[in-house]
Every structure is written in C-alpha cells, then in structure tokens.
Structure 1
Amino acid sequence: MKMLRQLYESFVFAFTALKTNLLRTTLSLLGVTVGIFLIIAVYTLVDSLERNIKDSFSFLGADVVYVEKWPFVGGPDFPWWEYLKRPQATYQEYELLKENLVNQSGVAIISSVGSRTFKHGSNSIGTVNLTGSTYDYFKLQDTPIGTGRYFSMQEIEGGRPVAIIGHTVATSLFPNEPAIGNEIKHRGYKFKVIGVMQEAGESFLGITSNDEKIIIPFKAFQKLYLTGSKYEGIGARIGIGGVEGDTGLEQLISEIKGLLRPVRGLRPGEKDNFSINKPEAIADMVSGVFGVVNVAGTIIGLCAILIGGFGIANIMFVTVKERTPLIGIQKSLGAKNYVILAQFLFEALLLSLIGGFCGIILVYLLTFVPLGSLEIILTTKNIIIGVIIASLTGILSGLIPAAKAAKLDPVIAIRS
C-alpha cells in the first residue's frame, strides 16, 4: 500500500513538473506528436484504402469460387496466349455442377455486358451493366432488394422478360412514376420491372455498382447475346457458393475439378483448361501491396519518433541536473531509489503520452477531411498501436536519466 502511495505521489510530482515548465514540455513533445501522427496516419489511410478497395469487390461475394476462362490475377509473366485458347464455361457445365456438387450453397451461371442502353418512354440511360443469371445468383452476391421481389423459379427456367434494376436506373427511367410493374426496352425486347435493388452508393474504384445494374434471367440474356456456348459469344462464369471456412472451400474446388476435367476430356497430368477463381486472391494481392506501404510509413514515422525520443531524453537529463539538490533532500529524508526512478520515468512517460495523444487527435481530425468516395476511419487497433509506441518511446527515453537520478548520492546531490 505504501509503495502504491509513493508511486502515485511520483506521478503527481511528474505532472506538476511538466505544468511548471510548459514551454519546455510543449517543445519536447512535438517530435513524438509528429512521429505518432505520421505512423498512425499512414496506418489509418492504408487500412481505409484497403477496406474501400475490398468493398469495391464485394459484388464477387464471400466464400464463393468462380469457374471461368481467365484467372482473376496475373503478373509480369502472365501467359495470356495459353488462356486465350481455353473454352468458355457453358450452360451444360453449369447444369452438371448444379446437379452433382455436394459441398455447395448455391450454383449460378453469370454473364454480363457493360455500357448498355435501356429506355422507357422518352427517358434513357446508357451506362447500364446488364447481367443474366440463374436462380442462385442472389445467394452468391450481395444484391439486396429494396422494393419489389426476386425472380421466381418459373421465370428463371422459362427465360421470362422480367428484370430487377438498380437505384440509379430506376431514378433515371422512372423519375415521376413507380418502376415496379412498368416496362423497359433494350434491343427491341421489353422487360417488366419486378424489383429495384437498394441504393449501393459510389464505388471507390469506379467499378459499376448495383445502382447501374440490371439483372435478367440467363435464358432471357441468351436471346439478346450469344453466350453460354463453348467457343463463341460473350464469356460466362459459373459461381459456386462454398461451405464457410477454408477447408470447405478446398473440398469444393476438388469436387469441381473432379467433375469438369472428365467432361472437358482432360487426361491425368494435363493442365486444367479452366480457372477456379477465389475473390480472396484479389484481397491478398491488395493486402500485399499495402503491406509495403505500411512498412515505408512505419520507417518514416519511427525516424520522427527517434528524434522525439532524443528530445525527451535530453530534456530529462537537464531536469535531473536542475533537481539534483531536491533529489538529495528527498533521499536524505528516506526516499528509496525506486521512488526517484519512478518520478523521472513517469515524467518521461507522461510527456511522451501527451505527444502521442496529440498525434492521434490530429489523425482523428484527418478523418473529417472529405476525400471523395474514400472513407477514412481511425480504428481502435491503430489508437492502441499509437499509445503503445508513445509509451515505449517515453520509457526508453527516460530510463537512463531516471537511473542516473536514482543512483545519486544524497550528500553529493545536496552539495551540488
């Protein structure tokens, strides 16, 4: 109990000393403030960029794999000529996987074309992403319905001329009337609107969001565009939802290969002539790129922290010199070495923490700066990292001056 009281008194003493020398305190914590600001600002910006980029690819779904001609990611040695020879995913392969896969939560064949024009009366929109798919599409991708309904199985199987449209499409084609129940026209075909998707907002990467999308049954899409055949027409991909977790996804991939390879006439030892793409491959690539940026930001921030740490250490040496007679009096009255040590350590720690919190506050203010569609969020994890770095800086900077003060001989200290 006595030790706790002495440590508390040491903390109060340190706080009083910092208030007394306000100008020196302010100048000392500037280095730490700049260092913590740089480190946490870089971490926060990188985390925000990474999160926004990953959100831009959320339309691909989670725990989903896609069977298609091309892989999601390549590289400098990407052998595009090999992939060019591959056949497209077909409707027959979709039916095969739909009927025979065990470890799946949904299977859909999907085909899309961009920058299509749709009309209703005198209104038109020419930036539509038209997607044709089968019934399980909404099990695989995040496309919540705002008003209206989803396709029925009969509409999907019969290729009925019905459509689910995005928020921007609805406001452009139906500014003064409800979209549900009305018709839209494309390439001479009319489609009845049965649903409007919830507003998704602007995508960070400029990728077409659900707002500018129209979804129709896959067989209706085939009437407009040649797709779902082996070597001709617009490419299609087969999306398969897996069981949650890496193990379930790997089992699903093994099943897909076991079913598709014989159908495509591949002998043992031959390479697959199809790609099984996982959205997490894009996420891993993004994380790898930003990992490098994180390291660079940390190095720059640590340089500033190092300067700040030297500044605190220098001030603490001066403080020890100024208070040498007072230290002698304290020790002659019975103050233990650890009490003196704690006084100076607390002072250095408090100085560094104040600088750290100032840096974190500056980063927090940065989150209010408008940066278009990039949303900056200061996370609890980054705040904790900032506090830990500031604490370590204060302890390491004050350790040697505090140890020097604790070892002073009381008689020599009073004489000085």
Structure 2
Amino acid sequence: MKNLKLVRENIRISLNSIRSHWVRTVLTVSIIAFGIMALVGILTAIDAVEFFLTKNFAMMGSNTFTIRNRSMRVRVGHRRTRAEVYSIITYREAEAFKNRFSFPAVASVSIVGTGTATVKYRSQKTDPNVAVTGIDENYLATAGLKLERGRNFQPIEVTRGSHLVILGNEVAKTLFKHKENPVGKMVSIGPGMYRVVGVLQEKGSSLGFTGDRACFLPLNNVRQFFSRPNMNYSISVMVNHPDQMDAAVGEATGVFRQIRKDRLGQENSFAIVKSDKIANMLIGLTGNITLGATLIGLITLFGAAIGLMNIMLVSVTERTREIGIRKAIGARRKTIRNQFLFEAVVIAQIGGVLGIISGVIMGNAVSMITGSTFIIPWLWVFGGVIVTFVVALLSGIIPANKAARVDPIESLRYE
C-alpha cells in the first residue's frame, strides 16, 4: 500500500513538472510520437497490403492449383523473379489430363479468348476491355466464382460450343442499368450473339485484375469463334481439403508428365502454381520495406531518446533546490531517482500512445486505399509500448542518477 501511494505521488509530481515545462515536453513528445508513428504506421500498412494480397491472390482458395505452361514472374522495383516458359498446353493435352486424373478432386480446363471484347445489349455497350474466357462446367468451382443469377453451363453445352454466356457483375451492370434481369437476354460479343444464362456475384479487383469485367463462354465456342494459332490452355484443380494438396499435386505431376512425354530424370515441361503462391512471393519481397521502416522508426526514436535525456538533464539542473529540500526532509536517493525515472516514463508513454494512434490511422489509410480491412496490429501496438518504455529508461537513467547524487547542502544554496 505504501509503495502504491509512492507511485501515485511520483506520477503526480511528474505531471506537474511536465505542465511547468510544457514547451520542451511537447517537442520531446512530438519526436517520440513521430518515431512510433513511423514504425507502427508503416508496419500496419505492410500488414494491410499483405492481407490484401493473401485475400485477393487466393481468390480460388487454398485448395486449388493450376497447371500452366509458364511459372509466375513477379517484379517489384528492380527485383524480379524469373519465369520459366515451356511449350504450350494443347486442348488435347488438357482434355487428356481431365479424363485421366483420378484423384478425388475437381479439374477444369479454360482458355483466354480475348481481353479486348466489346459486349452490347440494344443501345448499351461496354468499353472494349472485357475479357472473354472459354470454360467448362467445372471452372466456376475451381475459380471460386459464384452465381448471383441464373445457372452454370451444362457439359453438353460445353461440348457443342453453344452460344451461351455468363456475365461478370460489372458487365451486367453496364448493360442492364434499370435492374432488368439479364438472364435470357441476347447480347452480342464480337460478331456473335449469345444468350445470357447467368450473372456472377461481384468479386472485386485484385491488383488491377477483375473477374467482374469479364464474360465466360463454353470452351468449344471460344475454340471455334475466337480461334488463333497456338492457343494455350490452363488446367485448374480443386481438392476437397487443403490437407490433400500435396498428394494431388504429386499425382497431377505424374499424370501430366506422362501426357507431355517427359522422360525419366527430365525436368517438368510445365509449371504447377498454387493459388496463394503469388501472394507469398510478393509478401516475401516486402521484407526490405519492413526492414527500412523499422530502421526509420528506430533512428527517429534514437533522436527522441537524446531529446528526452536533454530535457531531463535540464530539469535536474533547474530543480536542484527542490531536490535539496526533498533530501533535507528525509527523501532517499532511491526516491529521488525513481521520481525522475517516472517523469521520463510518463513523457515517453504520452508520446508512445499518440504515436501508436497516429500510426494505426496512417496505416489503415493505406488499407482503405487498397481495399483491405481495418487492421489493429496488436503486435506493433504492444511493441510500441515496450519500445517507448525502454527509451524512457535508457534516456532517464543518467539524469535520475545525477539527481539522486545531488548534495543536499549544496543544493539548498543553489540559486
């Protein structure tokens, strides 16, 4: 109980001292707050970006992988990951894989028809930037796409190449502005007319790529009406549970090596990309940003520690007579030292709290820009509190010891 009263008294004396030297205190608190804001703010922003990448690049789910003719290439600044390019995946190879892959999973085949199509309905039309993709009946499931209206393609419609279309949400809103039901309506895509059988739920964009500004046609329709030399197909596989991923990838690799006639000991002539691989690659490239942000924050905090030590040394000098009076009436060295340490801690924690709040706000401003969720980085919040406490102890210990060593007789004569 006595110790608790002593702590309260030290805090009260610290706050009175802070009010009496508010100009220096404000400057010191501002420096500390800026350092913590830089540290917490940038790291919060990085957490928001990582959440955004994980959420958007794992659009197909953590239980999906894709077989492609090239590996992923990511470029950030002057750093890039090299992409391996192999021979194209033909329609015959893709269909052979789909028929021979016996693992308990869902496999789909798709082909990009064009990325510059214009879709028209009566007097309404889209800009010439709509992606046309040929898909089979399993594609929506493997791509993580859901229908808002209508239905999926039937296998017979995929085989026949029927003139049917599933519209992305943005395309549907552009063509049907008065909440008209698009299902059953006829739209033109390029030179052909297509009956709308479904509209996808809004998906949102992922670093500029969006499934909303797209339309999906039966696979064989795209093969016939958007044909071009060397059409390259993609194969997507969705397992029932993420724990089955490695086993499914292993079997898919064996099956497709046989189809591609890869010889024993020869490297794969194709790439298998998991749905979250790009996110992990980009998150890995943010390591330097995290390191830079940490260094900026620590350098600023080092300057704040020097400023805090300076204000405490000045405070000791200005309050020499007060220290002498306290010692004359029985205050011990430990009491005087703790008083000045408490003052340093209070100043640092005020700056730390302001810096943490400002940093969370700054970081979540980036989160809003990227379309991520609101993030409170509890690790960095607690880390900021601990860092400011350490800064207070390191910068306050020298002034506190100086105050504790003041001679009471000399200090009473100090003017």
Q: TM-score range by the shorter chain?
A: 0.7 to 0.9
CA distance in 2, matches of 1:79, 1:67: 14
Q: How does 1:202-213 map to 2 (within 5 A)?
A: 203=205, 205-207=207-209, 209-213=210-214
Given residue 216 of structure 2, which amino acid in structure 1 is its aligned partner?
A: I
Cα distance 1:351–1:372, how it changes in 2: closer, same or farther (>3 A)?
A: closer
CA distance in 2, matches of 1:214, 1:44: 36
CA distance in 2, matches of 1:370, 1:100: 44
Secondary structure of 1:192's counterpart equals strand
Secondary structure of 1:238's counterpart equals strand
State whether residues 181 and 193 of structure 1, in contact with CA within 8 Å, keep that contact through their aligned partners in structure 2: yes
Q: How does 1:376-391 map to 2 (within 5 A)?
A: 377=374, 379-381=376-378, 382-391=380-389
Measure how far apart 1:44 and its partner are: 3.1
Secondary structure of 1:211's counterpart equals coil
1:171 aligns with 173
Measure how far apart 1:76 and its partner are: 6.5
Cα distance 1:336–1:161, how it changes in 2: closer, same or farther (>3 A)?
A: farther
Identify which of 296, 309, 329 aligns with 1:313. 309
Measure how far apart 1:156 and its partner are: 4.4
State whether residues 72 and 282 of structure 1, in contact with CA within 8 Å, keep that contact through their aligned partners in structure 2: yes
Given residue 235 of structure 1, which amino acid in structure 2 is its aligned partner?
A: N
Q: How does 1:7-406 map to 2 (within 5 A)?
A: 7-73=7-73, 78=82, 83-84=85-86, 86-97=87-98, 100-102=101-103, 104=105, 106-112=106-112, 113-125=114-126, 126-153=128-155, 155-156=157-158, 159-176=161-178, 177-201=180-204, 203=205, 205-207=207-209, 209-226=210-227, 233-242=230-239, 244-245=241-242, 248-331=244-327, 333-335=329-331, 337-366=333-362, 373-375=369-371, 377=374, 379-381=376-378, 382-406=380-404
Measure how far apart 1:150 and its partner are: 3.3
State whether residues 98 and 107 of structure 1, in contact with CA within 8 Å, keep that contact through their aligned partners in structure 2: no
Aligned residues: 405
Given residue 322 of structure 1, which amino acid in structure 2 is its aligned partner?
A: E
Q: Deviations over 1:219-268 (max 9, x none)?
A: 333332348xxxx53211111124555x6332222111121212222221
Cα distance 1:49–1:345, how it changes in 2: closer, same or farther (>3 A)?
A: same
State whether residues 57 and 276 of structure 2, in contact with CA within 8 Å, keep that contact through their aligned partners in structure 1: no
Measure how far apart 1:8 and its partner are: 2.6
Tell me the percent identity. 27
Cα distance 1:346–1:162, how it changes in 2: closer, same or farther (>3 A)?
A: farther
Q: What RMSD, in angstroms, separates the aligned Cα atoms of the two structures?
A: 3.2
Cα distance 1:120–1:341, how it changes in 2: closer, same or farther (>3 A)?
A: same
Cα distance 1:89–1:395, how it changes in 2: closer, same or farther (>3 A)?
A: farther
Given residue 311 of structure 1, which amino acid in structure 2 is its aligned partner?
A: G
Given residue 186 of structure 2, which amino acid in structure 1 is its aligned partner?
A: E
Measure how far apart 1:353 and its partner are: 1.9
CA distance in 2, matches of 1:220, 1:47: 43
State whether residues 336 and 403 of structure 2, in contact with CA within 8 Å, keep that contact through their aligned partners in structure 1: yes
Given residue 290 of structure 1, which amino acid in structure 2 is its aligned partner?
A: T
State whether residues 131 and 213 of structure 2, in contact with CA within 8 Å, keep that contact through their aligned partners in structure 1: yes
- Stretches of structure 1 that go unaligned for 5 or more consecutive residues are none
Q: Deviations over 1:140-178 (max 9, x none)?
A: 223232333334455445544332212221122223432
CA distance in 1, matches of 2:96, 2:135: 13
Cα distance 1:212–1:148, how it changes in 2: closer, same or farther (>3 A)?
A: same
CA distance in 1, matches of 2:147, 2:312: 63
State whether residues 94 and 107 of structure 1, in contact with CA within 8 Å, keep that contact through their aligned partners in structure 2: no
CA distance in 2, matches of 1:122, 1:268: 59
CA distance in 2, matches of 1:357, 1:187: 59
Q: TM-score, normalised by structure 2?
A: 0.84
Measure how far apart 1:291 and its partner are: 1.4
Measure how far apart 1:129 and its partner are: 0.9
State whether residues 356 and 390 of structure 1, in contact with CA within 8 Å, keep that contact through their aligned partners in structure 2: yes
Secondary structure of 2:276's counterpart equals helix
Measure how far apart 1:356 and its partner are: 2.3
Secondary structure of 1:303's counterpart equals helix
Measure how far apart 1:368 and its partner are: 8.1
State whether residues 257 and 268 of structure 2, in contact with CA within 8 Å, keep that contact through their aligned partners in structure 1: yes
Q: Deviations over 1:293-342 (max 9, x none)?
A: 12122222222211111000111122223334434444555545544333
Q: Deviations over 1:99-120 (max 9, x none)?
A: 534363x221122231112222
State whether residues 168 and 215 of structure 2, in contact with CA within 8 Å, keep that contact through their aligned partners in structure 1: yes
- Please say which of residues 134-143 and 330-339 is displaced more in the overlay: 330-339
Cα distance 1:40–1:79, how it changes in 2: closer, same or farther (>3 A)?
A: closer
Q: TM-score, normalised by structure 1?
A: 0.84
State whether residues 42 and 363 of structure 2, in contact with CA within 8 Å, keep that contact through their aligned partners in structure 1: no
Cα distance 1:93–1:171, how it changes in 2: closer, same or farther (>3 A)?
A: closer
Given residue 26 of structure 1, which amino acid in structure 2 is its aligned partner?
A: V
State whether residues 200 and 210 of structure 1, in contact with CA within 8 Å, keep that contact through their aligned partners in structure 2: yes
- Please say which of residues 123-132 and 247-256 is displaced more in the overlay: 247-256
Given residue 175 of structure 2, which amino acid in structure 1 is its aligned partner?
A: L
